[in-house]
Structure 1
């Protein structure tokens, strides 16, 4: 469209575009048809598409959105090509799932792998850095699991689908407090111990450690009183 043809008073163009008014009714029919086909495709893709998505599933969802938009709104494109592409996405997703089922290596490449973010109350800082997860993001997830301090955590995993799984000790040891520093009143209710916890990774100090010394895990010199 040439810029001379663009006029704010052209209400028909603003409401219906350059297509004939009859195409509006066609869009309704295209949308209903595409909606039904898309529902069938999602059903055939399986229940995983209704839960947390893996990388491959997210890629398929984005692709589906691009496919159906053309089928619904572009007047010079037919419906059948879009249906065939939708079926192609279905076969691609089913094929990648089959390959992941047959091969552990393919599963890791296509869908990712589970990684430990916390081990026995200690943050795995290289893993956090590699997966670009901040300490506060992890602490928020731990607090959502009703964990008050790192000593309660046996393992915290980042699952392949991006969710967090937290497993706690039956008998927790003292650890770094997870309560926000801004909430001083609530932090004051925690029972402080004689042990010190590294403020960076949560490693507990040993009785022979010097006050203010380097953490043996991350070399930080910032310590806080461990709580239980």
Structure 2
């Protein structure tokens, strides 16, 4: 638009831009058609598209959003090209899944690999750092499973699509408390093993009498706390 064509208040330009009021009815029809087509494509792609998304599925979702937006609003864009693009996205997603199912390397490249974050109540520092996680994220995930200290966990995996999988220990051992420090009442109510100290960074256990002023052999942290049981 030219500068002189812009003035305030120009309510018609503000509400409908350079189109006509009749085009608003067409927008409604375009939206309904594209929405129905999008539902059909997502339904054909399977239940995984409604759950936590993998990297490739997220890429397809973003692509679908970009495909659908312009033809719903621009009068010079037809709907047929949207349907064709939807079919292409569907074929790409299904084809990539088919290839990944048969080729482990393709699966790892497109879906990501599982990471072992916690083993026998101790954070695996290298995997923890590579995954760019924070302790708060891990502890929050564990607390949703009613876990109060790391000794209750045998394995904690982070799946390729970002979700956590938890395997509880059949026989819990003492471990680092993961109750928030703000909840002092619950923290103080936890039973403790005064003979063991837990590294505040990774949960590594050591003899309480020898832990003072020593570095954790697992992560080099020199801060310790009493292990909960």
CA distance in 2, matches of 1:164, 1:87: 33
What is residue 220 of structure 1 aligned with on the other side?
221
Alignment of 1:55-204 (within 5 A): 55-193=55-193, 194-204=195-205
Structure 1, unmatched stretches of 5+, are: none
Conserved? CA contact 1:212–1:223, under 8 Å:
no
The alignment yields a C-alpha RMSD, in angstroms, of 1.3
Conserved? CA contact 2:197–2:211, under 8 Å:
no
How far has the Cα of 1:165 moved from its partner?
A: 1.0
How far has the Cα of 1:212 moved from its partner?
A: 2.5
Runs ≥4 in structure 1, deviation > 4 angstroms? none
CA distance in 2, matches of 1:208, 1:184: 25
Q: What TM-score do the two structures reach when normalised by structure 2?
A: 0.96
Partner SS state of residue 76, structure 2: coil
**Cα offsets for 1:65-116 (capped at 9, x unmatched):** 1111112111111111111111111111011101110111110100111111
Alignment of 1:44-55 (within 5 A): 44-55=44-55
Q: What TM-score do the two structures reach when normalised by structure 1?
A: 0.96
Partner SS state of residue 107, structure 2: helix
CA distance in 2, matches of 1:91, 1:47: 16
Task: Give the count of matched residue pairs.
Answer: 228
Structure 2, unmatched stretches of 5+, are: none
Conserved? CA contact 1:45–1:94, under 8 Å:
yes
Partner SS state of residue 36, structure 1: helix
How far has the Cα of 1:176 moved from its partner?
A: 0.4
How far has the Cα of 1:15 moved from its partner?
A: 1.5
